[in-house]
Amino acid sequence: MPSLAPPRPPAPARPQALTQPLPPPAPFTPVAPGGAQSAPGSDTSGGVRVGWGRRALAVVLTVAVGLAFADASVVALALPDLYGAFDTTIVGVSWVLTTYALVVAIVAVPVALLHRRLRPLRLTVTGILLFVAASLVAGLARSLPMLLVARAVQGVGATFLLAGSLPVLTGLLQSRRRARAWWATAATVGAVAGPALGGFLTQLFDWRSIFLFQAPAVLLALAAAAAPSARALRPDRDAATPPPSSPTLASCSCSVRSWPPSSSASCSPSWCGATAPSRAPSW
């Protein structure tokens, strides 16, 4: 009696062995935000390439931040020379230190309330110009009241510089974490090295050299403000968001959970920097 079982399908043919070896994979080349490859010799720390030009501008701005912190105590060892130069009292000469710290503390309150509505670049440039001009006036002061007024203007400029420099550093270094680290390092080094720097300049030259030295050093920070990444900065409330050339899912106006979007939704994956999925995500 013949069997009624269905015939088995033929076994699939085994693929023939490759006769030629596969080519080696292409080397991985990190791509900077915006799709353009970074220049050779640039730094890749933090996952984003930062060119040496940007790093140099960030160093210059960091030095200006450190000098703004150092100015709170830079004239501490020069007070005896100031006491003899202006023929004043100990209380009068102590106001050279107190005026700067007092003005910074007072101006910091309104700046802290308004800095999210102001452009960080405008704050930084204004602070640099005020600080440089006041440093020159302080270095050329012929009386104690003139020196105290210059120290007060220095405090205003330092407050603006310190408030706007962190977002500018973030734009230059393309990383808020690195910008905070650089800013905090400048603050620590400036506060610690201020008296030593002032004493060294006073012993080498005189007390006027303290202020005349700061002016060109801080003025170089204007080069950092001329960088395209700094000029494109908006108010500080947008400083934490990635640049437009570094899209994320958060930059889309529609939510992944509501995929697919309705016809009235204004979400275009092409400008979000992503490709529209062929089906709804499984999560």
Cα first-last separation, the chain: 57
Convert the pLDDT of each residue in 71-97 to its tens digit. Answer: 999 999 999 999 988 888 899 899 999
Q: Which amino acid is at 177?
A: R
Contact 259, 233 (CB under 8 A): no
Measure the CA–CA gap between 140 and 155, rounded to whole angstroms.
17
User: Which residues of the chain, if any, have pLDDT below 50?
Assistant: 28-47, 235-283
Express each pLDDT in 157-184 by its tens digit.
999 999 989 988 988 888 889 999 999 9
pLDDT in the model for residue 16: 57
> Where do we find the tokens 């101006």?
107
Cα(254)–Cα(178) distance, integer angstroms: 31
Q: Which domains are present in the chain?
A: 46-235 (1.20.1250.20)
Question: Strand, coil or helix: what is 221?
Answer: coil
Cα separation, 93 vs 84, in Å, equals 10
What pTM, to 2 d.p., does this model score? 0.65
Residue 44 has a pLDDT of: 42
Residue indicated by tokens 């992944």:
256
**Angle 237-240-246 (CA atoms, 0-180°, nearest 5)?**
125
- At 147 the pLDDT is 95
Beta bridge partners of 31: 37
